[in-house]
Structure 1
Amino acid sequence: MSRILALLVVGVALLCIPLLGSRYLVDLTTEIIIYALFALSLNVLIGYAGNVSFGHAAYFAIGGYSCAILLTTYQWPLWLSLPAAVGLSAGAALIIGYFCVRLTDIYFAMLTLAFSMLVWSAAFKWYQVTGGDDGFIGVRVPTLLEDRMAFYYFALGVVGLSVAALWRICHSAFGRTLVAVRENPLRTGFVGIDVRKMRLAAFVVAGTFAGIAGALFAMYNRGMYTESAFWTESAQVLIMTLLGGMYSFFGPALGAAVLYLLEVSINQYTEYWPAILGTLLILIVLFLPDGLAGLAQKMRRSRKA
């Protein structure tokens, strides 16, 4: 009951953000909810399937670039561009995942990083299509969504539906099987479950929802840039997931909000955000292995005791 109440409060608060009359707050919240979806998508791989990916930004970038190019270069309508971009992200995840899920542990992580850098290299070198290091700028969006408030509600709706779909997936028999694969892949295989196929399915689900986040990011920023495919973007969303708590469904969303707000605040005073981010990662690993969500659960249990 307390979780439902908390979700209702958060939902009402998000709906009321534009009514406060602050464009800065609307822009800030738009970025936070996009990154929250990005982090939640990665957690399907990390928290449920037990596979750490260092290249999740690839699908974020593929979704963003695809949507931007289809909307602007080919002038497709949004109702075609967005699903097509998400489909391309899912297809890329299927192809890349086919090779990655054959490996485990650090080998899996490094192969995802290698594929991500291939995507970054393509975006950087394919100047005629992606704009290269200048980025793909001037993304055309429907007239109705040119207003920041209108786009905020559009993004909130898409993210809300995506989170609901992820919740359903992660709490279904499929999600529970993924947890079994994470905990004991050998025993799961003995009962007749194809572990490799389950990991591949998780990989595709994660890539699909990362593509949705990337498409929203491109439309919101009216552009897409190679930095979105670089390894630093993958590292940042990984830290968001760890900070929030990878064993909690909503933990990564909390981590995304906290980390993004920290980045915005600290960048106003210093240019050493990457160093601070590295320090934060060390602190998380040493003192918050279960993230903020895990810390909240421990505090709740101690009160009951």
Structure 2
Amino acid sequence: MKNAIVLIVLAVVLAGLVALPWVAPYFYIFLGTEVLILGLFAASFNLVFGYSGMLSFGHAAFYGIGAYATALILLHLEWPFLACLVVAMGAGALLALVIGFLSVRLDEVYFAMLTLAFGMMVFAVAHQWRSVTNGSDGIAGFMLGDFAPGIDWSLGDPAVYYHVVLGVVVVAAAVLYLICRSSFGLILRAIRQNPERVSFCGLDVRRYRLAAFTVAGAFAGLSGALMAPFLRVASPEMLHWSMSAEPVLMSILGGTGYFLGPFFGAAVFVLLESWITGFTDAWMLVLGVMLALMVMFFRRGVLGTLLDWVQGNHD
């Protein structure tokens, strides 16, 4: 019965998301697109943090390299957008494989600091390598062509691009969900709870952590590939360490113990930011206070707390 209710709610939410461009102004289409992309970004981070127990402060490196790969391909090669998404996922996975190989051997704060250091290195490369990345100005001026050979969608139309993003995010989320529910995902949860016991069972903990880190990097690269055409630019700010803090906050805000928690946290974060900036210049202060209060009083995340209330568990 409970599973049926969940499926019905998800179907209603998905139907509402599909209908959004037909019932809402363009402003909300832009907000919806941003929420979907950042939700996927946060969900990719949660595979590392919520399921594997590794706190990464360099996740924006994979997000940014996906954005740069897409921008460079569209600018110089003019490939179909679907090919750009595939290349961006590969670039994110490859970078994550290299960084993860050097990082997963460390635990807790040492792992977090090392990923932060690597993230800052990637940011420095993008900022300084002007001949390729155009430095602090970023890469702009690229055009979106066909989505795929034979599929001539008007990706420049915000409503069409929103539906493309929605479709890609739904498919990516479904794949991530299957990964989390698979035996691989169960082993990751076991590693988060007690890595020593998993190691005693004969499993290579580092190999599983590296695999999770690489998969997360691929989906972070995909989210960056979706964001670059949305913003019409790929800039070093997308690689900055402060960008790595956003999926951390969104995941904790929504609830790391729930697969849809990061998506819910992204929606709360983006909507609060949009609402607060509309009436005060000190929006960062107000947003920070509100987010701090929500994290303090919603211990299981906003989604987890709401589910507890619905189920009658108010402890």
Q: Is the Cα–Cα contact under 8 Å of residues 258 and 304 in structure 2 kept in the other structure?
A: yes
Shift of 1:278: 3.9
Q: Partners in 2 of 1:21 and 1:241 — Cα distance?
A: 27
Shift of 1:296: 1.8
Change in Cα spacing, 1:276 to 1:106, as seen in structure 2 (3 Å) is: farther
Letter in 2 for 1:196: R
Letter in 1 for 2:225: A
Is 1:6 paired with 2:16? Answer: no
Shift of 1:277: 4.5
Letter in 2 for 1:214: G
Give the corresponding residue for 1:148.
Answer: 158
Q: Partners in 2 of 1:173 and 1:128 — Cα distance?
A: 45
2:130 aligned to 127, 130, 138, which one?
A: 127
- Of stretches 133-142 and 57-66 in structure 1, the one that deviates more from structure 2 is 133-142
1:101-134: per-residue Cα shift (whole Å, max 9, x none)? 0111111111111111111111111122112111
Q: Is the Cα–Cα contact under 8 Å of residues 139 and 218 in structure 1 kept in the other structure?
A: no
1:194-223: per-residue Cα shift (whole Å, max 9, x none)? 110111111011111111100000011211
Is 1:239 paired with 2:249? Answer: yes
Letter in 2 for 1:200: L
Change in Cα spacing, 1:257 to 1:123, as seen in structure 2 (3 Å) is: same
Q: Is the Cα–Cα contact under 8 Å of residues 90 and 208 in structure 1 kept in the other structure?
A: yes
Shift of 1:304: 9.8
- Of stretches 138-147 and 49-58 in structure 1, the one that deviates more from structure 2 is 138-147
Shift of 1:156: 0.8
Is 1:228 paired with 2:238? Answer: yes
Which residues in structure 2 correspond to 1:68-217 (within 5 Å)? 68-142=71-145, 144-217=154-227
Shift of 1:269: 2.4
Give the corresponding residue for 1:22.
Answer: 25
Change in Cα spacing, 1:118 to 1:277, as seen in structure 2 (3 Å) is: farther
Q: Partners in 1 of 2:294 and 2:249 — Cα distance?
A: 9
Which residues in structure 2 correspond to 1:41-52 (within 5 Å)? 41-52=44-55
Letter in 2 for 1:225: S
- Of stretches 136-145 and 33-42 in structure 1, the one that deviates more from structure 2 is 136-145
Shift of 1:281: 5.1
Give the corresponding residue for 2:310.
Answer: 300
Shift of 1:74: 2.7
1:211-252: per-residue Cα shift (whole Å, max 9, x none)? 110000001121111111111111122101100000000011
Change in Cα spacing, 1:285 to 1:264, as seen in structure 2 (3 Å) is: closer
Q: Structure 1 regions of 5+ residues with no counterpart?
A: none
Is 1:32 paired with 2:35? Answer: yes
Q: How many residues align?
A: 305
**TM-score, normalised by the number of residues in structure 1:** 0.95
Q: Is the Cα–Cα contact under 8 Å of residues 124 and 132 in structure 1 kept in the other structure?
A: yes
Q: Residue 106 of structure 2: SS of its match in structure 1?
A: coil
Q: Partners in 2 of 1:20 and 1:274 — Cα distance?
A: 30
Change in Cα spacing, 1:10 to 1:98, as seen in structure 2 (3 Å) is: same
- Of stretches 133-142 and 170-179 in structure 1, the one that deviates more from structure 2 is 133-142
Give the corresponding residue for 2:150.
Answer: none
Q: Is the Cα–Cα contact under 8 Å of residues 45 and 51 in structure 1 kept in the other structure?
A: yes
Q: Is the Cα–Cα contact under 8 Å of residues 242 and 284 in structure 1 kept in the other structure?
A: no
Change in Cα spacing, 1:279 to 1:108, as seen in structure 2 (3 Å) is: farther
Change in Cα spacing, 1:62 to 1:304, as seen in structure 2 (3 Å) is: closer
Change in Cα spacing, 1:80 to 1:304, as seen in structure 2 (3 Å) is: closer
Change in Cα spacing, 1:79 to 1:300, as seen in structure 2 (3 Å) is: closer
1:130-186: per-residue Cα shift (whole Å, max 9, x none)? 121112112221162111111111111111100000010000111011000000000
Shift of 1:42: 0.5
Letter in 1 for 2:167: G
Q: Structure 2 regions of 5+ residues with no counterpart?
A: 147-153
Q: Partners in 2 of 1:9 and 1:301 — Cα distance?
A: 20
Q: Partners in 2 of 1:60 and 1:7 — Cα distance?
A: 27
Identity of aligned residues (%): 43
